[in-house]
Each structure stands twice: as C-alpha cells, then as structure tokens.
Amino acid sequence: MALALVLGLAGCGGNGGDGGAASPGAATAAPGTASTPASPQATPTPSPTRTYPLSTAPRTIPAVREHVAARGPGWRPGAGSGVVVARGSGALADEARLLARELGIAHRGEVPARAGDVELALAGAGTGAPESYTLTTRGGRVRIAGPDEAGVFYGTRTVKQALRSGGVVPEGVIRDRPDRPQRGLMVDIARKHFTAAWLEARVREMADLKLNQLGLHFSDDQAFRIASDSHPEVVSRPHLTKAEVRRIVALAASLHITVIPEIDSPGHLGAVLAAHPSLRLRNAQGTVARGAIDIARPESARIVDDLLREYAELFPGRYFHVGADEYRALMASDPEASYPALAAEARRRYGPEGRVQDLATAWLNDRAKVVRAAGKQPKAWNDGFFRGGVVAADKGVEVEYWTGREIGARPPVEYLSEGRKVVNVNDRYLYYVLGEPNQFTYPTGREIYASWTPLVLRGTQAVPSRYSGQILGGRFAVWCDLADAQTQDQVAAGIRTPLRALAQKVWDSREPVLSWAEFSKLAGRL
C-alpha cells in the first residue's frame, strides 16, 4: 500500500502531471526494524521519484512576453504560504497586503521568505525597463522583482491570473514589460453620469489588465459633472463630489493608475456657457455656435483657466487633457467669413496673415501653459492642431489622435513627421459611442485583437514602423452621445471584451499567440 501511495502521488504534480519516467532510488528499511538479507525472490523494489514536464507559460491577459520553462511543480498557495517583502523593499507593503488578501494567505511583512511564500522585491533603478518585472518560480516559492512598484504590482497580477486560469504559477522565469507606456480607458462622464462605485469597479478591472490610465471627460455641452469651488454655477446635477473624486483617485493611485481630467475647450463648453451666456460665440448672423466660447474675449480665458487650475489640484497625476477639438468656428467651410469678429481679432494680433485657426492655436498654447505651470503634461485632440498658420501649436502637447473626419483632416504621419508624440484613440476601433450615432458602431474585441495595433492610428492602415517610438500607447474611449441608450451596467458589459483586447495589444503589439477563440475563452475564465 505504501508503494501504491508513492506511485499515485508521483502522477499528481502541478503543471502537467508526471510527464516522464521516474528516476529509480534505493529502498531502505524503516527505522527501528530489523534488516533481513534479501533473497532472489525479494529483490529491493526501486522507489520512484517525482519528475515534471517542462512548464508552459501561464494563461493571462495580457499574455506574458517571455517565459523560460523549467521542470518543477510550480507554486500554489498552501496552508503555510504568505506574502513577504524583501529587505529594503518596504515601499511594496501595499502591493503585498493586496495580494495576500486576494489569495487568502498571510501577509508577514518585511521578513525573509520561506518555502511556500511569494516574495516581492524592488530590484533598483536601472535593472529593467519602467513597469517591468521578473517573476521566478522555483523551490516551492515565487519571487517578483522589478525596478519600480508598478512593475512588481503587475507581477502580482500575473500570479493572480495564473492561479485563476490554471491553478498554478508555472515553474520557471517570466520576464515581462509593457510595449507602450500609456494604456487605458476614457469615460465621458459629462453627457452621462456614472456613479463613483461604477468608476471604482472599472479602476479595479483595469488594474488586473495592467492598464495604467483612466481619463475622465467631465465637461461638455450637456453637463459639468464634478463639484467646483471656483465656479459652482457651472456644475450640473447629478455630479461627483470632490470627496468621491479623491476616493477614486486614491484607489487608482494604489493600483498604479493615473486619472487624467479633461476640460475640453474652446468647444464643448455648453454647460459652462449656460451659466455665462455673454461668452457664447456668435456667427456673422448673430446665431450662437453651440458649445463654443468666444476666444477673442479675455473673460473667456479667465473662466476656463480658473477651472483648469482648480482641477489640477484635485487630480494629482501627471497629465491634463485640454481638449481643443471641434471648435465650431473652424468647422465652417470659410471661418473668416462666417466669424468675422474672430477674423478681425486674428488680424489685429498676428497681422494681415492672421486667421481664425491662429486664434484657436494660441488658445491651445495658452491652456497648455496653464496646466504645465501646475506641473502637468498637456494633451489635446488631434483636430485642434492645424496645418500651416502664423501660430504653431506647442510641440510639447501630446496629440490624442482620434479621427480624420474633420475639415482639412491631416493624416497621422503629418503629426509624427513634426516630431510630435501621439496616443492612439482611433475612432474606428476604440470608440464606444452610446446609441451608435453618426455611423459609429460598437467596436468588438475580436476586431481589436485581430486587426488593430498602436500603429493603426486612423482607419485600418498602420503608419510606418519608424514612427513607433513616438506612439505612446492607446486608450479605449466611451462616449455617451445618446446617454440613455445603455445603462451604466450595460456599458460595463459592452466594453468588457474590447478592453481586454486593447490591454493585450498595448502590452504586446506583436501577433498574439492565442487564437481569438482561445483568448475569448480565457477572458471568460478570468
């Protein structure tokens, strides 16, 4: 019976069973018993030892970039398992506590690792790319090391997903890093109110997918959705309180996600202008240009800058999105004829060659200066950057490329050839527009997974690979043009698979190893 038990155990190792011939070992007598000389009929029976097949990479979303196989049982949490932090890596305490809670094992703090443990360690600056990690599984334990806290955190996401998808963290070494530094989701919370709880759920979902940016477009023609102290008169109901925003931002920061605020101007300011109607832009016939502020008036800049400064304090992250898209004056076929007051101001400021686009470009540059003075990296939509003109757009503003539908549309290569840095928000693949107006259709995860990469900035065509280093990443965008077309729960369900496909392609833009059917099945399991 003892021999049968040993044989049975030999076939139930983690990560694939026995997988090979057992290595013979010498039989020994049990302690405390007499040894009897063996006879030809009682030859000692070899005792099998456990062997393992070469491990395979864990199934995760996004997939790990490199896995060095090894033979061994892998790791799964046991009764004595814990999460510990290597000496000198105390900054990882929050990551350790979170993983321990998720796995239902002990958190033992900054102590030496022992058999059965997961150890987190900061490897030090210069030991790898930002957000990278090395995960080593051997000797019945796991060690996750990276040059920064974010990388180690992503290693813990790999552990969590490996256990969920396969029941074990496979033996061997994983070396992993993101292909792009900016990976995220943007939600239009202006046209449609989303609760703080819903946004927090998206933050947790994003963290497990190794996404690191959440954009909040909270001001538009329909509403202004975050409380304001400087201009309470512009705030709509319902809206997020500042306490709720701080809670969302704190949760995101703990999961290595930056929340990016967006106050879009000089267009999309209808909610602000409802409280300040004298600042509305009017055309030659005196008709109000929907959502557009009069950029010739100093008072217009003052109110927008008040709001930019206020929310730069509320959102401590690195970035601020200043919009710049779809300014009604520049959507006219002849801006100078349609808006003669703006044309006159442009000539006054910039000479006889000055045009309305120069006023708009100067507006963008001035708003960029305001947020940069607050310590932020400014971002703006691509249709706020114009060809030619007396005034050139600030080269330091990151271009968020979404469309080629505007009048005088510029192909993506024009922005890149100017040396600009670009984030991919391609409206063909990455725009989830509620109600599907204006020929938009809900994007599918399958399309993103099969056809999109960060180089596919417009339509379905990729830009030349020589520009790859200027493309900082990609963001999936939820726009609520027809706000009642879906509930917030339906939105969460609708973006679920596309968001996972995006996560895969911004982490590793190479051809995926898994087929779409395999990926989809894995997404359901995770």
What are the residue boundaries of the structural domains of the chain, listed by start? 66-176, 182-521
Distance CA 317, CA 253 (A): 9
SS3 content of the chain, % helix, strand, coil (to 5): 35, 20, 45
Q: What average pLDDT score do residues 334-360 get?
A: 98
C-beta separation of 428 from 401 below 8 A: no
DSSP state of 525: H
Distance CA 212, CA 255 (A): 8
Q: Which of 49-58, 107-116, 325-334, 495-504 has the lowest mean pLDDT?
A: 49-58
What pLDDT sits at residue 127?
A: 85
Tokens for 276, please give them: 């300040």
Domains 66-176 and 182-521 fall in the same CATH topology: no
Tokens for 144, please give them: 């996750």
Residue type at 323 in one-letter notation: G
Q: What average pLDDT score do residues 357-375 get?
A: 98
Question: Is the model's pLDDT at 513 over the cut of 90?
Answer: yes
Exposed/middle/buried for 173, CB within 10 Å: 0-12, 13-18, 19+?
Answer: middle
Question: Is the model's pLDDT at 26 over the cut of 80?
Answer: no
Distance CA 47, CA 373 (A): 73
What pLDDT sits at residue 20?
A: 35
Stretch (H or E) spanning 121: strand 118-122
Work out the percent of the chain whose per-residue pLDDT is above 70: 91
What pLDDT sits at residue 31?
A: 35
What pLDDT sits at residue 49?
A: 52
Which architecture does CATH list for 182-521?
Alpha-Beta Barrel (3.20)
Q: Which of 11-25, 219-233, 478-492 has the lowest mean pLDDT?
A: 11-25
Question: Is the model's pLDDT at 468 over the cut of 60?
Answer: yes
What pLDDT sits at residue 125?
A: 75
Q: In Å, how far are 33, 83, 118 from 145, measured between CA atoms?
A: 49, 13, 11
Strand pairing report for 133-138 and 172-176? antiparallel
Strand partners, 473: 182, 423
What pLDDT sits at residue 323?
A: 98
Which architecture does CATH list for 66-176?
2-Layer Sandwich (3.30)
Q: What average pLDDT score do residues 67-74 get?
A: 98
Distance CA 323, CA 315 (A): 16
Residue whose pair of structure tokens reads 């100078």 in the numeric block: 336
Q: Is 244 a catalytic residue?
A: no
Residue type at 455 in one-letter notation: L
Letter string b/e over residues 362-393, b meaning 16 or more CB atoms within 10 A of that residue's CB: bbbbebbebbbebebbbbbbbbbbbeebbbeb
C-beta separation of 415 from 394 below 8 A: no
C-beta separation of 50 from 10 below 8 A: yes
Q: Mean pLDDT in the chain?
A: 92
What pLDDT sits at residue 50?
A: 73
Higher-confidence residue: 15 or 94? 94
Among the listed residues 326, 345, 398, 400, the single catalytic one is 326
What pLDDT sits at residue 23?
A: 32
Q: Closest by alpha carbon to 50, among 105, 98, 11, 108?
A: 11
Q: Which of 18-32, 114-128, 190-204, 316-330 has the lowest mean pLDDT?
A: 18-32
Letter string b/e over residues 447-475, b meaning 16 or more CB atoms within 10 A of that residue's CB: bbbeebbbbbbbeeebbeeebbebbbbbb
- Is the backbone peptide bond immediately before 277 cis, with ω within 30 degrees of 0? no
> In which band, very low, low, confident or very high, does the pLDDT at 407 lie, cut at 50, 70 and 90?
confident
